[in-house]
């Protein structure tokens, strides 16, 4: 079972969701081909605004925005580093180097996490 997770939270305009999904499908293919254990991308579907603080409020999303929650799982951090090195060296990934992204890169949140429950 996975012991290391790269996690992403990405605010973006709803109008760009189709373009992002196309890009994410290629990302999934690349990461899995190069050894990641799992790769998931999800779009915000429900927020209970009467409850605790939520993503849209905390991230100051506009009504025209949505949120992507994504994660990639690995055996450990060393495995993550090896998989990522292969992915970023893959020629299919190179086409994104200068491509216009369907979201603002400065708003993307990322972190590598060591699993503490569920491995």
Q: What is the CA radius of gyration of the chain?
A: 15
Domains with residue ranges and CATH for the chain: 4-48+55-114 (3.30.70.100)
CA angle 87, 91, 93 (to 5 degrees): 50
- The DSSP secondary-structure symbol of 103 reads S
Digit-coded pLDDT (tens) for 23-78: 999 999 999 999 999 999 999 888 776 766 666 666 778 889 999 999 999 999 99
Angle between helices 77-89 and 17-33 (to 10 degrees): 110
| CB-CB contact of 40 with 71 (8 Å) | yes
pLDDT of residue 64: 92
Residue-level length of the chain: 119
Digit-coded pLDDT (tens) for 73-107: 999 999 999 999 999 999 998 877 778 889 988 88
């Amino acid at each position: 079972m996975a012991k290391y997770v790269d996690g992403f939270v990405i605010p973006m305009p709803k109008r760009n969701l189709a373009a992002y999904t196309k890009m994410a499908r290629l990302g999934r293919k690349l990461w899995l081909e190069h050894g990641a254990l799992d790769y998931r991308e999800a779009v915000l579907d429900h927020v209970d605004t009467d409850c605790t603080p939520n993503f849209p409020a905390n991230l100051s999303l506009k009504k025209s925005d949505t949120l992507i929650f994504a994660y990639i799982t690995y055996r450990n951090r060393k495995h993550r580093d090896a998989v990522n090195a292969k992915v970023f060296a893959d020629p299919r990934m190179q086409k994104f180097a200068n491509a216009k992204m369907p979201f603002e890169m400065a708003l993307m949140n990322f972190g590598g996490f060591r699993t503490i429950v569920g491995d």
